[in-house]
Amino acid sequence: MSACASANNPTSLGSEGQTIFPQQAMFSSNVAVFSRWTKVADRFSEQKTAETPSTVKWSALIDDLKSRPLPDRVAHANDYFNAIPYVLAAKNWGDAGYWETPYEFLARGGQCQDYAIAKYFALKASGVPESDMRFVVVRDIQRSLDHAILIVAFNGQNYVLDNQDTTIEPLSDVHRYRAYYAINNTGWWAYSVRVASAQIVSTSVILPEAQ
């Protein structure tokens, strides 16, 4: 799988915007299958022990997010990270499939999955429940490439946070994507038969979006 530009909560993420999410999905609580996701979480935890310019920026951002009402918090997280330069993983790390921690992303820029991952962990740190968020790998049918976004549920709706969009959009208004799979730390959902049957996510590579 090439990528980039991988119903269990109170607002039933995936129940609306069916152009993104098919009716049928395979769910598993075995997050360990997604090694790229778990490796990011492990490295991020380890990196918290060192004080660096990135950790200082991160702490200030989380304090700021915590002070904001939820809609403004989500919008600010989207704006903050979307302002960070887009840099190919192959250029940054010599590995087109490398997924960055938020600290690495703050220090070096990154590609689509890194924007979505940073938003996920920032909103989690600010108090948004993980069950209200999903990191989603999608197919962009307009640009014929794969991509990663974050979906966040609040105020009774699901919203798309996308590094290609300066505003957060209701999921029901987004029609250009089709989901391959979604993940948070409670489990994962496979919407693609290829992912569900082969469970290839642990070895799949997310490649950069076209510029």
- Residue 4: the pLDDT is 63
3-state secondary structure of 144: coil
CA distances from 19 to 4, 143, 183 (A): 19, 16, 18
The partner residues of 187 in beta bridges, in order of sequence, read 184
Tens of pLDDT, residues 168-186: 999 999 999 989 889 999 9
CATH of domain 26-202: 3.10.620.30
What pLDDT is recorded for position 27? Answer: 86
Q: Which of 116, 117, 107 is nearest to 42 (CA)?
A: 117
pLDDT lower than 70: segments of the chain:
1-19, 22-23, 193-211
Residue closest to 130 by CA, chosen among 138, 116, 120: 120
| Predicted local distance difference test score (pLDDT) of residue 39 | 93
Coil, helix or strand for 137? strand
Q: Where do the structural domains in the chain lie, given as residue ranges?
A: 26-202
Residue 26's pLDDT is what?
82
What pLDDT does 195 receive? 56
